[in-house]
Amino acid sequence: MTRNDCAALDAADPLAPLRARFTLPEGVIYLDGNSLGVLPAATPARVAAAIQQEWGEGLIRSWNSAGWIDLPQRVGDKIARLVGAAPGELVVADSTSVNLYKVLSAALAIARADAPARRVVLSDAENFPTDLYIAQSLCAQHGLTLELTTADALEARLARGQDVAVLLWTQVNYRSGRMLDMARTTALAHAAGAVTIWDLAHSAGAVPVDLNGAQADFAIGCGYKYLNGGPGAPAFVWAHARHTERFWQPLSGWMGHAAPFRFDTAYQPAPGIARYLCGTPSALAMTALEVGVDTLLAAEPLGGMAALRAKSLRLSRLFIDQVRERCAAHALPLASPEDDTQRGSQVSLACNEGGYAVMAALIARGVIGDFRAGQGTDQAPDLLRFGFTPLYTRFVDVFDAVTALATVLDSGEWREARFNQRAAVT
């Protein structure tokens, strides 16, 4: 595969026009949309209008006239189209961590209502730490046990899962990009009597998701990765319709009240998913998120998530093949699944020497991926992590990124590289 071949793929790509919807810095190849999505070109003007006209001129009237009060549901319904949820089932609110606290509390109440002896929250040993920290906190509060396992051992553990109350799993592993079959795993968890919570941080907007089709119980996800909502964008929360009326979530804020503007002193939960709201919605942040979600919905006439997924896999497969061909003299084993169907929209390469400096040297050359340190006590290797967002990533970008990687490795320039360790945190 030559660079000209890649240019030909770009010329024939029906999704190529979507790249114009983003602001991409000149001379930068951005392969870190799995941490922070690119700025949509429409966001600055839309947020400026929200500031200048809606806030500056409309003032408090804009909660009604500009529809600020409806943003959690309006943007939620748009995200629902990307994850297989129905209108009215998903809302935008708070952060991923806060939403996990809400749904894990509800899931534990549901699971233990009929089987109080169930005392285990089961999760992935490689789950993103915030999920584990929230689970640790709730388990400590309720005298339960957080048990960690691996994707390979999960099925066997569920087969003897009479003690498992909740399965908490991130569909696409943030380190390796390994993707679990949601429908199959949910069925196994239900057969074991467990309630499921899916973290869609690396799924929503990256891979086709069908929450209702999988009969999942709860889901959460963030807005700043593939949804392009901006740094720290609000998160979202979903509950299957069979669960929404069963229990209160523990953060019973005024926006989750059945009639928030009645200003009752006693809490009465709103019907359905609205009870998972808490405080006043961040109108400016949700405005930016709505633009980001709209960039994904712009792909619907071109095939939607199925078309984006197909391109994503072609991009990641090209990257894997090019690294093997052009960086063969260096030890960079694939740390992501070889099978395309088991991989999200990222590729991770193991790097046993100088991974941090290699990524620093790449960034200095204008190729932005990210670095993840080895995890645990088993001497796991460091990872070079590359995300492939098909809305704006081109095939020539992949070719040029591997060219830069080969140059960094062949020249040894990575040995002199320096990098700001505080950057690229999620």
In angstroms, rounded to a whole number, what is the distance separating the alpha carbons of residues 252 and 270? 10
Residues with catalytic annotation? 128, 199, 224-225, 385
Residue 109 neighbours by CB under 8 Å, 6+ apart: 246, 247
- Kindly report the number of other CB atoms within 10 A of residue 265's CB atom: 4
Given the structure tokens 């009215």, which residue do they identify?
88
- Kindly report the number of other CB atoms within 10 A of residue 42's CB atom: 16
- The sign of the dihedral angle between the CA atoms of 26, 28, 31, 34 is negative
In angstroms, rounded to a whole number, what is the distance separating the alpha carbons of residues 109 and 112? 5
Give 160's Cβ-side CA count (13 Å radius). Answer: 3
Q: Is 196 annotated as a binding residue?
A: no
Given the structure tokens 């392969």, which residue do they identify?
31
DSSP symbols for 354-406: SHHHHHHHHHHTTEE-EEE---TTTTPPEEEEEE--TTT--HHHHHHHHHHHH
Q: Is 131 annotated as a binding residue?
A: yes
Q: Is 65 annotated as a binding residue?
A: no
Residue 175 neighbours by CB under 8 Å, 6+ apart: 126, 335, 348, 372, 375, 383, 385
Q: Is 386 annotated as a binding residue?
A: no
In angstroms, rounded to a whole number, what is the distance separating the alpha carbons of residues 115 and 162? 9
As given in the structure block, the two tokens for residue 163 are 């003690």
Q: Is 94 annotated as a binding residue?
A: no
Strands (E), 60-193: 90-92, 120-124, 145-149, 164-170
Q: Is 96 annotated as a binding residue?
A: yes
Q: Is 170 annotated as a binding residue?
A: yes
Q: Is 124 annotated as a binding residue?
A: no
Where does residue 67 fall: left (phi above 0), alpha (psi -120 to 50 degrees), or beta otherwise? left
- What SS3 class is residue 178? strand
Q: CA distances (Å), 320 to each of 312, 316, 372, 395, 398, in order?
A: 12, 6, 18, 13, 10
Evaluate whether 360 touches 418 at the Cβ level (below 8 Å): yes
Q: Is 254 annotated as a binding residue?
A: yes
Q: Is 276 annotated as a binding residue?
A: no
Which residue ranges are tagged as binding site for pyridoxal 5'-phosphate? 96-97, 128-131, 170, 199, 202, 224, 254, 280
Which residue ranges are tagged as binding site? 96-97, 128-131, 170, 199, 202, 224, 254, 280
